Chain A
Amino acid sequence: MSFPETGFPITLTVNGESRSLVLEDARVTLLDALRERLDLTGSKKGCDRGQCGACTVLLDGVRINACLALAVSHDGASITTIEGLADGDVLHPVQAAFVDHDGFQCGFCTPGQIMSAVGLIREGQAGDDPERVREGMSGNLCRCGAYAGITEAVLAAHAAMHAPDVLPGGHLIEDAA
């Protein structure tokens, strides 16, 4: 297989920051571009074929499986990853709700769950209906079985983000263990 000597230059806006890179290979997925080339390892690879959701990111505001997207196809796109959610030390309401409701155990699917939840809330499809939240979050597998906490967290975050007169603030990020 041969590739152009010049490679494939692309520019992505990742978490609000313009990132340019030259891919030597057209086969690089968006997930591998983030993880292996931009040092954004929060997005996880669980299956590499769009079945587990651990790689979920927002692409131009819409949740996608980054393992199924080729980076070269998204030149110019705006990407939000788990690293781009918190505002400094203040967690995004979805992140805070996942901590409060124990919406994870091992934590490996968590970045994908949280990005999917942010996308779901933004889509406005599930509202405060637990059944629709469960359905809307079903593209994200959690093998530890934290679904009860995940559903509670999404509902709580939805409520927090839609409460009038309440700024969408979260918790301060404490020292990690």
Chain B
Amino acid sequence: MSERMRHGASIGQPLTRRDGPAKVTGAARYSADFHPAGMLHAVMAVSAIARGRVVHLDVAAAEAHPGVVAVMTPENAPTLAKSPDEKDNPFAFRLDLLQNSGVRYANQPIGVVIADTLEAATEGAALLSPRYEAEAPGVELGGGEIFVPDSVGAGTPTEQGAGDIEAGFASAATRMEATYETAAQYHNALEPHTSVAQWDGDRLTLHTPTQALWIAKGRLAGLFGIPEGNVHIVSHYLGGGFGSKGFISSPQILGIMAARLVGRPVKLVTRREQMFGPVGHRASTRQTLKLGAKADGTLTALDHHTLTLTSRHDDFVEACGLIARHLYASEAISTTHAVSRADIGTPIFMRAPGEAPGSVAVESALDELALALDMDPLDLRLKNYAEVEPITHRPFSSKALRECYAQGAERFGWGKRPKQPRQMRDEDGLLVGWGMGTATYPAGMMQGEARATIRADGTALVETAAQDMGQGAWTVLAQIAADGLGLDGDRVELRIGDSDLPNGGLAGGSTGTATSGSAVHAATQAALAQLEDLAVNDRASPLYGAGNAGTVAENGRLARRDDPTRSESFSEILARAGKDSVEAKGTGAGEPASRKTYAMHAHGAVYAEVKVDPDLGQIRVTRLVGAFAAGRIVNPRLVRSQYYGGMIWGVSLALHEHAVLDTRSGRVMNPNLAEYHVPVNADVPSLEAILVEEHDPHVNPLGIKGVGEIGITGTAGAIANAVWHATGTRVRDFPITLDKLLG
């Protein structure tokens, strides 16, 4: 379906969330809220060592505890149809499913206790008192062999560049080089990874949160050796994912295995501290930026090298260098990655994977270069504005970044910024600093399908196994469906979050709305085409013979495109045809030719104000203004919330989040929400997100780019630059904490 979508009645409206009433009344049921009859509770025991093997578990003590029904260990765990280390998807986790006694990271599951009550299962898990044969772990970034990975991130090339980087530096009037470090981060969705699993013979019914229902279904079918159709996953509401629920993790599958072992429904909820290992994280990075520029600021060389960490047993590599491949024009660009292995849980995609840590390094480096050139940081970015994608020279499908820079700067008051640091104080004597950064994220698409049914009663049903993890799929897919069908939103029933529905792609990578939305739109057009077919071939219809002119759907009626007075309601068309409904499927996917021709990215500019206590080093972000352009905005209220959320993650990357590893034991030392800091309400200042208009005729028929991740990029760098501007101290080790300002 390549026709441009009409500007509809619903798309673009700031509707409140369709799932809002359910969520504010407690009626929305998340996975752990299900309680099938006869359900038992399962609790995992996890490893206290990072490398070695378990030599003893006190199974007898656990079994003797009142209420304990079974203890699952490698001795009795159900065998699987394929090795948990075998990947059916290049990014699927290698799993730890009690198939052997080995330990490859701290907090790895090593046993599961199943009991009548949660309390008994919890006590039983503690009674297992594991003994280990421990080996010394290696967990440090750059520890051990450093190698060049085959690919990074979602299968993108490890190295990419353009021009002669040495010549670029040779011709530079000003050069800078700096190394930036970012901390290991854990997604910490508020909802823990959970399974409520029930087997009926070889059929599985599962309540589990997943960002990709069909990928999870395929993974489970493969592991348990059953047809995909035998796996039914229900996940209507998902309590945050951020990438950690993109691929089903070991704890979720252990709950299913426990249910199989005992032959009863089982609920397993990962404990918060157990989420620091088996469910993914963002690895720490060390990034070296080398920049060369002419005296007027024109970049002659941009060299971005990333060293990061992956697990000993798996291959995910944080792709920090991607951002430098398309953000700034430079005569020469080099982006490279290297990685070392560690005895840690495997890292995985985490909100703006690659781009988030990459952006904070690149934006800090640009700021340092601006200082060296005595240029305004915004002017430096404008000087190196990429008119085409720098390495590929492809035109952008759309790029309203100039407008973002301008509107954000105007709103923030950037023009009044003194160039030198430590120039501004507030009425309380706090140092005030202003910084900015460029935001960007690719406008990718997955492949998804949807089904639309137009019913004789004048309503419609739209179905796709898409997932709402807070981005608003319940609302925006209904808006897209309503406009596609020419129906009021309240006449459209939407079903999502169920693996029996057509594959809705992935709620991730900022692809969800673009993909499932395109699929929904295509399905509605295909269903309308069937309806049109019925009408134009029916002599009794006012639309008879309108085949060439075509029809448009509006207010539940089809009308001749060339004569809107000749129309007929959906109900009338179906009634005369003697049909209850028409039904059609549609696909949403990137169009290969235009994706080859054009570079597709969302862009933005973020401006930050911080205040720093000159004596105590305490840092507060006091103002954030972001201006973003991401194609057509389906629902401005919900899009603004996505930008805010991303910007808060930027605050978090810059100032808060840091998983601290004990290098001797290999354990995370702060595996809880009191010591692993994420922003609380009081950490979040006045936020503003400006929705900059952008029309994209190429990205997909709806013109939609994703908005879930871009807010982090730009923001973290803007804050780092504002901290420098306030204090004159450049901190290159993230998060920026007060000790680093005082030291």
Contacts and interface: CB of A to CB of B under 8 A. Distances in A.
Genuine A/B complex? yes
B105 interface: no
User: How many B residues are at the interface, by size bracket?
Assistant: 35 or more
A42 B269 contact: no
B37 interface: no
A158 interface: no
Nearest to B474: A177
Interface in A52-93: 52, 54, 81-83, 85-86, 91
Interface in B258-278: 269, 271-272
A173 interface: yes
B25 A91 contact: yes
Contacts of A81: 26
Decide if the interface of chain A is mainly helix, strand, loop or mixed: loop
A150 interface: yes
B23 A45 contact: no
A10 interface: no
Given A102-B638, A149-B641, A108 B190 contact: yes
A47 B645 contact: no
Interface string B237-252: 1111110000000000
B638 A143 contact: no
A2 B672 contact: no
B685 to A, nearest CB: 9
A142 interface: yes
B28 interface: yes
A64 B201 CA distance: 43
Given A102-B637, A143-B678, A107 B239 contact: yes
A134 B682 contact: yes
B684 A107 contact: no
Interface in B101-127: 117-120, 122-123
Nearest to A174: B21
Interface string A120-151: 00000000000101110111111111111111
Nearest to A86: B25
Contacts, number: 210
A85 B27 CA distance: 12
Interface residues of A, number: 69
B616 interface: no
A162 interface: no
Interface in A156-177: 171, 173-174, 176-177
B239 A44 contact: yes
Contact of A51 (B32, B269, B672, B683): B672
A176 B648 CA distance: 29
A150 B67 CA distance: 42
B26 A43 contact: yes
Contact of B25 (A83, A138, A145): A83
B190 A54 contact: yes
B593 interface: no
B478 interface: yes
A139 B684 CA distance: 14
B681 A138 contact: yes
Contacts of B65: 1
A41 interface: yes
Contact of A47 (B27, B237, B672): B672
A64 B471 CA distance: 29
A98 B24 contact: yes
A137 B272 contact: no
A108 B25 contact: no
Given A108-B240, A143-B190, A147-B648, A138 B680 contact: yes
B673 interface: yes
Interface in B672-699: 672-674, 678-684, 687
Contacts of A148: 644, 684, 687
A82 B672 CA distance: 25
B218 interface: no
A141 B684 contact: no
A142 B684 CA distance: 11
B514 to A, nearest CB: 18
B21 A134 contact: no
A49 to B, nearest CB: 6
A36 B35 contact: yes
Contacts of B672: 47, 49, 51
Given A110-B23, A142-B190, A41 B29 contact: yes
B681 A104 contact: no
A52 B673 contact: yes
A135, A174, A176, A177: residue with the most chain B Cβ atoms closer than 10 Å: A177
Contacts of B33: 35, 41
A24 B115 CA distance: 13
A145 B644 contact: yes
Given A144-B470, A174-B21, A151 B272 contact: no
B271 A25 contact: no
A1 B21 contact: no
Nearest to B673: A51
Contacts of B190: 44, 46, 52, 54, 106, 108-109, 141-143
Contacts of A32: 118-119
Contact of B494 (A104, A140, A143, A177): A177
Interface in B42-75: 65-67
A92 to B, nearest CB: 8
A99 B646 contact: no
A42 B641 CA distance: 23
B649 interface: yes
Nearest to B16: A99
Interface string B644-660: 11111100000000000
B18 interface: yes
Nearest to B680: A138
A3 B117 CA distance: 14
Nearest to A99: B20
Contacts of B118: 32, 36
A91 to B, nearest CB: 7
B167 interface: no
A85, A108, A146: residue with the most chain B Cβ atoms closer than 10 Å: A108
Contacts of B679: 145, 147
A145 B648 contact: yes
A147 to B, nearest CB: 4
B557 interface: no
21 contacts: A1-B65, A25-B117, A32-B118, A41-B30, A41-B35, A44-B191, A51-B674, A91-B25, A99-B24, A102-B637, A102-B641, A107-B239, A108-B189, A109-B239, A135-B681, A141-B190, A144-B641, A145-B649, A149-B641, A151-B681, A177-B17
Given A105-B240, A177-B474, 18 more contacts: A39-B35, A41-B29, A44-B30, A45-B192, A48-B272, A82-B24, A82-B25, A95-B25, A96-B24, A104-B23, A106-B190, A108-B191, A141-B678, A141-B680, A142-B681, A145-B648, A146-B644, A149-B644
List of 4 A-B pairs having minimum Cβ-Cβ separation, nearest first: A42-B26, A108-B239, A105-B470, A106-B470
